[in-house]
Amino acid sequence: MKNLKYKFINMVIIVLLIQIINLLVFNCISIATTEDIKDTYDVILFWGQSNMTGYCGLNYDEKTANRHQANIEIKRDYRYKYQDSNSVNNYSKKTGIDKEFLANSVQMNWVKISQEKNTVFDYNYENNKLIELNENTQKIGELLKYDSGSKKLIEAEWNDYSIQKSYGTNIVPQFCKTYYQKTGHKVVCVLAGNGGEQIANFLPSTDEDYGEKTKQNKQMIYEAMVEKYKAAIKHLESNGYTVKNKMWVSFQGEADANLGTDIGKYKDRFLKVHNGLKKDLNITKGAIIETSTLLGKDNYQNVINIHNAQIQLAA
């Protein structure tokens, strides 16, 4: 992705300095083979709210274009001509959106991302298998609910779930493609996003600051993402894959900007999530995709506060 920068910090959180892009990436399908077992794999937990799951866009058409409902027309982005290189170049300069994304946009919330064969995979919990990401990928992840009795994930409904599958475009395919190109490590992604949730709702449900502690039907997002990640590691290790690095990538903060969460509380709660993942999953490093505003729009104070909190986490 364009304008991607890294900053390592003392607790080993990596901060990715990028702006929210209204056209992001999209996903995969094809199963991993035993040929890949000798290679090194890094397992990345992708967690956060709607921008992580891909439910983003400037208007209703962008947010719903990939739902395939009978009454919704599948639309391309009308603000530039994807087959016209001059139009693509001009719109890229205007918005900062990568030209490759624009040229390969299938519709408003689906961009085809080519991958080197057998390098990037999505872990599928329900079927306990790896699914390869390629340019035909349209969705990753699963709609699952954490069952506190069995401590497992079960199939969920849209009105009662812990973690979601992606809504068309999200950042995962392009991130993983770039990651493989930079490191030479193949990637297994574990998607565990939940749209519209404040940082307090990503805490363990037993934490005193947990955002849903008064609700009878708790989402238990933290428990869900821990269970899914553990299952992915178990699958890889039991099948002879070499797991090299464990890390997380977070795209969260917009809900806290809307709620007016102050900098101190946001930092404290985010660190609780990080330290929990360190304890429960042995993940000691991660990446924050910073909360920002739409390209070309003015900042407002609540967004600036969350943005600054994320910067301070890297201080």
- Does residue 149 fall inside a structural domain? yes
% the chain with pLDDT above 70? 76
- Does residue 84 fall inside a structural domain? no
- Does residue 205 fall inside a structural domain? yes
Q: How confident is the model at residue 69 (pLDDT cuts 50, 70, 90)?
A: very low
Report helix, strand and coil shares of the chain as percent, to nearest 5. 30, 20, 50
- Does residue 253 fall inside a structural domain? yes
pLDDT at 94: 86
**Is residue 249 scored above 60 in pLDDT?**
yes
CB distance 269 to 199 below 8 Å: yes
Q: Which domain holds residue 177?
A: 6-77+115-313
Least confident of 37-46, 137-146, 285-294: 285-294
- Does residue 29 fall inside a structural domain? yes
pLDDT at 107: 63
- Does residue 109 fall inside a structural domain? no
Secondary structure class of 313 (helix, strand, coil): helix
Structurally, how many domains does the chain consist of? 1
**Is residue 213 scored above 60 in pLDDT?**
yes
Q: How confident is the model at residue 221 (pLDDT cuts 50, 70, 90)?
A: very high
pLDDT at 28: 31
- Does residue 217 fall inside a structural domain? yes
139-187 pLDDT, tens digit per residue, is 899 999 999 999 999 999 988 999 999 876 578 988 999 999 999 999 9
73-104 pLDDT, tens digit per residue, is 555 667 788 789 999 999 889 877 778 878 87
Q: How confident is the model at residue 259 (pLDDT cuts 50, 70, 90)?
A: very high
% the chain with pLDDT above 90? 52
- Does residue 288 fall inside a structural domain? yes
| CATH of residue 179 | 3.40.50
Least confident of 13-22, 35-44, 96-105, 272-281: 13-22
Give how far the C-alpha of residue 10 lies from the chain's centroid of Cα atoms, to the nearest Å: 24
CB distance 198 to 255 below 8 Å: yes
Report the alpha-carbon angle 306-277-178, nearest 5: 70
pLDDT at 82: 79
- The rounded mean pLDDT for the chain is 80
Q: Which spans in the chain are helix H?
A: 50-53, 60-64, 85-95, 99-103, 172-183, 221-238, 254-259, 263-281, 301-313
Q: Which residues contact 158 (CB under 8 A, 6 or more apart)?
A: 143
116-152 pLDDT, tens digit per residue, is 999 999 999 999 999 999 988 878 999 999 999 999 9
pLDDT at 225: 98
